[in-house]
Structure 1
Amino acid sequence: MADTPLAWWRRQGLRFRLSVVAAAVLAAALALSASVLLNVLDRALVDTIDETTWQQAQTVRVHADAGTLTNPITTNDGTIVQVIDASGRITHATYGTDRLVPLLGARERARVLREGTARFMDGRPYAIPGPLRVVAVSADHGRTVLAARPVGEIQTSVGTAGRVLLVGTPLLVVVLALASWVIIGRTLRPIAALRRGAAEITHTARSRRLPVPESRDEVHWLAVTLNGMLARLEEAEQRQRALVSDAAHELRSPLASIRLQLEVALGHPEGQDWPETAEGVLEDAMRLSRLAEDLLALARLDERGGVPARSEPVDLDEVVRQTVDRYGEARLTVCDPVVVRGDALDLSRVLTNLVDNAVRHTSSKVEVALTRDGVLTVTDDGPGIPEADRERVFNRFTRLDSGRSRDEGGAGLGLAIVRETVRAHGGTVHLEDAGPGLRAVVRLPPAL
């Protein structure tokens, strides 16, 4: 099946299509301009002839009315003049002009006088090659002055101009099409450089960037935007690789522990305390389960791109009360009514992770407070965290070497989940000194 012209056109390169469109538009514009120019030129020349002929006819009329008209009539510009009396007889005429047949018949003279406009007529019956432009002016005593000038020179001039345009316009289109081809090619050269740069970027060259042209145009900002996208993709890939590596490292310990306990139990079954072995394996299995749940929570947060799973009104004070009631070590000091928009389960997980950390590291008490401006605080009186590490602990798989990072503290994903969830809800979270202890401060925007 043969391709349609539209399908063929779509397969052509951008440079070719732009050049053809530019040449076509230019050709149409030049053709229209040439046509207008020729029409205007012809009209201007004819108007000039009409004005000169009209002035000559008026001059003859004035002399005829004054009775000073000579015979033959003398004109300096070659205008043909006839003075016709009321009976249709030619009384005066320029030298060499027909004195028997008027330039215009009686009916045509009446029409020209009535309309007040000039008209064309064939000059060959009067031994004049080409057309004539004739005007008529009324004089006294029913006389009519006819004045005419040949316009063959005008047609010759307009024809010459038309031939020049007919030859010059295509040449100009060709020249400008070639110029467009060169200019468009140079304009698209940075895009070709971007394409080559993108083709060179592979999975083994992730740190490569696209070339950025020096000109501050759209291509420059396109390259800057694409490089920013590559940087974000590289950063996301690095985070993913780090997550996989850290997850594999965290999974290896409980799996190795389970394997070791089972190998020892199976190697010495007669002296093995099977309930104790089962408890150890169950503990490691629970650790694996918590790690899997945390990884799934982070994966869901990354998949949603910083947007909560649901956006609905949540009574944050109810979530706080229900969560604190599950901990005997925690005490609710302030709980003002606050409504926020988001997902109740995710917000409950935020508070659960914070209270778990506080209970795990506290010395005697954990205090939870919620104020009506959407500020949630969880305070313990444990060893605290050095100020230099308070931001770092929000990174994934980050555990400090202090007392707050004992093995029962998990894989270091709890605070990372807290920050990602709070950001998804439009809030912020940070840690501050409680003197003694540590205070986690969460700020969530109340719903309007």
Structure 2
Amino acid sequence: MADSPLAWWRRQGLRFRLTMVAAAVLALALAISASVLLSVLQRALLGTVDDSLRRQAQTVRVKADNEMLTSPIVTHDGTIVQVLERDGRIANVTYGADRLVPLLDAPARQRALKGEALYLDGRPYAIPGPLHVVAVSADRGRTVLAARPIGEIVRSLGVAGKVLFVGTPALVVLLAAASWLIIGRTLRPIAALRRGAADITHTARSRRLPVPQARDEVHALALTLNDMLARLEEAEKRQRSLVSDASHELRSPLASIRLQLEVALGHPEGADWQETAEGVLEDTLRLSRLAEDLLALARLDERGGRPARREPVNLDEVVRRCVERYGEAHLVACDPVLVTGDALDLTRVLTNLLDNAVRHAASKVEVALTADGVLTVTDDGPGIPPEDRERVFDRFTRLDSGRGRDEGGAGLGLAIVRETVRAHDGRVYLEDALPGLRVVVELPAARNT
């Protein structure tokens, strides 16, 4: 089955379609312009002839009314004049005009007397070409007919029409060719973008698309695409780094489990199976925590930095429930605060902060929540140097003090905290507690509706 014209049209390239549309619009505009030009030119030329004929006819009428006509009537512009009596007989004419047959019969004369200029074939009157005839009423029922050949005007209009008929298509073709070239040059930056995108592969991730110099829409598109490529590259780097770091973190507990089991199975008579089981369980719990943290980060990345749910959450209730599970933590202030977000995610934020604080505290951990949505978790531990306070929020980042602790995490807790707080339109940072460290979480309070 043959495709419809619309389907064929849609398959054509943008350059071809733009050129054809421009040519079609131009052809229509030129055709209308040519038609209007010929019509205006014809009206102007014939209007000039008709005005001259009426002035000549009025001159003859005045002379006829005053009985001052000569025989033959003298005109200086080649106008043919007939003066008819009431009964239609010809009384006076110009030199060379027909003295027997009026230029217009009675019905035509009535139309002409109403101001209409009439076409007339001049050949029956031995005049080559067409005539334009006007009529003017004189005294005593007489009628003055004035005519002039318009063959030159007709030929001039014909020549103009032929020129337009031939020149208009030629002009359309010329302008279509120019449009084809101009549109091609206009689309050249887009073709460069396409070639640049085709050259970007998995082995050339850092390449960028060419940006045209013109500050136009294509320039803005190239900048936007390059920004997108930069974000994708950064996301890919983060993903590769996450996979690499996760593999490294998984290798240690798996190697420990394998070693303990191999030693126990290799020397079953001397193995302490209770101790082996406890060691394997500890490494298994470590793997479980790491898997939960990786899953939490994966879900945050999948949601594009948005919380799983957006619903009203009483942050003070979340804080109280979390602090109750830690005997070392003390709630020093807890004002009612309503925020918008996901209660489970916010619970995980506070749990991670309390885990870190309890792990590093020397004697106490204090938690405070103020009415403006500021949550602080303070410990009296060794703290973190100022130059490392931003780095600790990166994934799989652990300071030397943290690496030396067997109960330490994989360096994902604070990364999860920052990603979650950002998803809730808040921010988190570290500051000195003198002694110790204070983690400050600022969350926007929900508006009461």
Single out whichever of 384-393 and 404-413 deviates more from structure 2. Answer: 404-413
TM-score, normalization by structure 2 = 0.96
Query: What SS class does the counterpart of residue 104 from structure 1 fall into?
Result: coil
d(CA) in 2 for partners of 1:66 and 1:175?
63
User: What's the CA shift string for 1:86-121, capped at 9, x where partnerless?
Assistant: 2322222211111222222223222332x3222222
Q: Which residue number in structure 1 is paired with residue 325 of structure 2?
A: 326
Q: Which residue number in structure 2 is paired with residue 51 of structure 1?
A: 51
Q: Which residue number in structure 1 is paired with residue 206 of structure 2?
A: 207
Query: What SS class does the counterpart of residue 146 from structure 2 fall into?
Result: strand
Residue 248 (structure 1) shift: 0.3
Counterparts of 1:129-208 in structure 2, within 5 Å, are 129-208=128-207
**Counterpart residue type for residue 29 of structure 1:** A
d(CA) in 2 for partners of 1:182 and 1:110?
61
**Counterpart residue type for residue 338 of structure 1:** V
Counterparts of 1:189-268 in structure 2, within 5 Å, are 189-268=188-267
**1:442 aligned onto 2:441:** yes
Residue 251 (structure 1) shift: 0.4
Counterparts of 1:39-78 in structure 2, within 5 Å, are 39-78=39-78
Q: Which residue number in structure 2 is paired with residue 37 of structure 1?
A: 37
Residue 210 (structure 1) shift: 1.4
Residue 324 (structure 1) shift: 1.0
**Counterpart residue type for residue 153 of structure 1:** E
User: What's the CA shift string for 1:366-389, capped at 9, x where partnerless?
Assistant: 111111111111111111111111
Residue 429 (structure 1) shift: 0.8
Query: What SS class does the counterpart of residue 133 from structure 2 fall into?
Result: strand
**1:368 aligned onto 2:361:** no
**1:355 aligned onto 2:354:** yes
d(CA) in 1 for partners of 2:28 and 2:90?
52
d(CA) in 1 for partners of 2:54 and 2:339?
91
Residue 405 (structure 1) shift: 6.5
User: What's the CA shift string for 1:103-145, capped at 9, x where partnerless?
Assistant: 22223222332x3222222222212223221111122222222
1:200 and 1:403, CA in 2 relative to 1: closer, same or farther beyond 3 A? closer
RMSD over equivalenced CA pairs, Å: 1.6
How many residues are aligned here? 447
Unaligned segments of structure 1, at least 5 residues: none
d(CA) in 2 for partners of 1:367 and 1:96?
127
Q: Which residue number in structure 1 is paired with residue 398 of structure 2?
A: 399
Q: Which residue number in structure 1 is paired with residue 338 of structure 2?
A: 339
Query: What SS class does the counterpart of residue 408 from structure 1 fall into?
Result: coil
Residue 77 (structure 1) shift: 1.4
d(CA) in 2 for partners of 1:431 and 1:365?
18
Query: What SS class does the counterpart of residue 422 from structure 2 fall into?
Result: helix
d(CA) in 2 for partners of 1:40 and 1:268?
114
**Counterpart residue type for residue 425 of structure 1:** H
**1:275 aligned onto 2:279:** no
d(CA) in 1 for partners of 2:277 and 2:404?
26
Query: What SS class does the counterpart of residue 377 from structure 1 fall into?
Result: strand
Residue 163 (structure 1) shift: 0.9
Single out whichever of 62-71 and 432-441 deviates more from structure 2. Answer: 62-71
TM-score, normalization by structure 1 = 0.96
**Counterpart residue type for residue 95 of structure 1:** Y
Q: Which residue number in structure 1 is paired with residue 21 of structure 2?
A: 21
User: What's the CA shift string for 1:316-337, capped at 9, x where partnerless?
Assistant: 1111111111111111111111
Residue 403 (structure 1) shift: 5.5
**Counterpart residue type for residue 44 of structure 2:** A
Query: What SS class does the counterpart of residue 183 from structure 1 fall into?
Result: helix
Q: Which residue number in structure 2 is paired with residue 104 of structure 1?
A: 104
Residue 285 (structure 1) shift: 0.3
Q: Which residue number in structure 2 is paired with residue 423 of structure 1?
A: 422
1:78 and 1:42, CA in 2 relative to 1: closer, same or farther beyond 3 A? same
**Is this contact kept in 2: 1:73–1:81, CA < 8 A?**
yes
Query: What SS class does the counterpart of residue 180 from structure 1 fall into?
Result: helix
**Is this contact kept in 1: 2:402–2:408, CA < 8 A?**
no
Single out whichever of 124-133 and 281-290 deviates more from structure 2. Answer: 124-133
Q: Which residue number in structure 2 is paired with residue 6 of structure 1?
A: 6
Query: What SS class does the counterpart of residue 82 from structure 1 fall into?
Result: strand
- Percent identity of the aligned residues? 79
d(CA) in 1 for partners of 2:59 and 2:438?
111
User: What's the CA shift string for 1:9-55, capped at 9, x where partnerless?
Assistant: 33333222222222222222222222221122112211111111111
1:18 and 1:281, CA in 2 relative to 1: closer, same or farther beyond 3 A? same
